[in-house]
Structures are given as C-alpha cells and as structure tokens.
Structure 1
C-alpha cells in the first residue's frame, strides 16, 4: 500500500532534484555547476490563516520547480523515496525555463 502525505497548513512537500554529475557523453561535471538546490513540488497544504481568520493559500502548486534554501526543511521518507517538507515562506522562488 502506497502512502500519500498531504501537508498541513502552509507546508509544501518537495522531492529534491539531483542534478547529473556527468553529461550524456560521459564528461564529469564540476561539483559547483551541479549545486543548484531545487526540487519539484509533490503536494501542498491548504494554507494558513491570517490574524483576521482569512485563509492565505500557499504560493506554489503541485508540479512547480522551486529553489530551496541550503539548509532547513524536514526530511520525510515514504516507501523508498525521500522527500523534504518546507514551510511556504522558506521556499526562495520558482524556477521557469
């Protein structure tokens, strides 16, 4: 049975993107060029309430590729996959091609 995690409040479940360490032709890439800390949003919570009780939705959606802080987040293991749980405010931005 596969488990699915739905984050609470303004939390976002992210699967980190591991950049390739070498090109298709076998050329090894330096570690600095592969260091971009990004991930794909797998699930989002409904949002948090402001002081007036209004729901403030999460700023990213499932499928977005986001830039993550170097440190932080909570590691979550579901089955054999590893994910990270971040608050919406901890996500630095979305990446677009």
Structure 2
C-alpha cells in the first residue's frame, strides 16, 4: 500500500454488512448503516511518550476490529473506500 499512517493512526477497510435482517427482510441501500467492523490494512509506528520513546500499537494488519460508529475519517485510496482512525477509537479485536 502506498499510504503509511502516522503516529497511532490505523487504516481500516470496512467489512460488508448483511443484505437481509434476521427476520429475512431485505434491507435497501438507503436504510443501511455503515458497518462498525473492519479489517486493519496498515498501522502507524506508534505514539510517543514524554521521553520520546515510541510505543507500538496493539493492532496489526489483518486484524478484524470493531470501532465506534462515528469514528475516523473516510478516504478514497486506489479506488477503495477506507477509514483512518486513532487506535483509541478501536473498541476491540476479534480473537481467533
């Protein structure tokens, strides 16, 4: 990827949302909410503390994460819609 996030920023590709509800009703595009799950594409080097030491991030490329509904900034890179957010906006990482 020709894009490297800085500091504690993470680049995420949103995962596709279900087309049907649990009851089998097809959800039109206009009624869908943006997914809050994604795959980490790239991570920054980490955040610096007061002494200038860099602390690496807890997530890595390939991790599947959950993030806040209104988190991050949307960007378009090489035709892909991506999201750049801070590590603190990540709620959790799926294990296994």
Report the TM range for the smaller structure's normalisation: 0.7 to 0.9
Q: Number of aligned pairs?
A: 90
- In structure 2, the CA distance between the partners of 1:30 and 1:83, relative to structure 1 (3 Å rule), is same
Task: Output one character per residue of 1:33-78: Cα deviation in whole Å (capped at 9) or x when no partner.
Answer: x876100000000001111111111110000000010102011101
SS at match of 2:88: helix
CA shift, 1:28, in A, is 3.8
TM-score (structure 2 length as normaliser): 0.80
Q: Superposed, which structure 2 residues align to 1:48-87 within 5 Å?
A: 48-87=47-86
Aligned equivalents of 1:29, 1:96: Cα separation in 2: 30
| Stretches (4+) displaced over 2 A | 27-31
Q: Which runs of 5+ in 2 are unaligned?
A: none
Where does the alignment leave 5 or more consecutive residues of structure 1 unmatched? none
User: Structure 1 residue 90: deviation in Å?
Assistant: 1.1
**Aligned residue number for residue 9 of structure 2:** 11
Distance in 2, matches of 1:20 and 1:84, equals: 19
The CA distance in 2 between the partners of 1:8 and 1:77, in whole Å, is 17
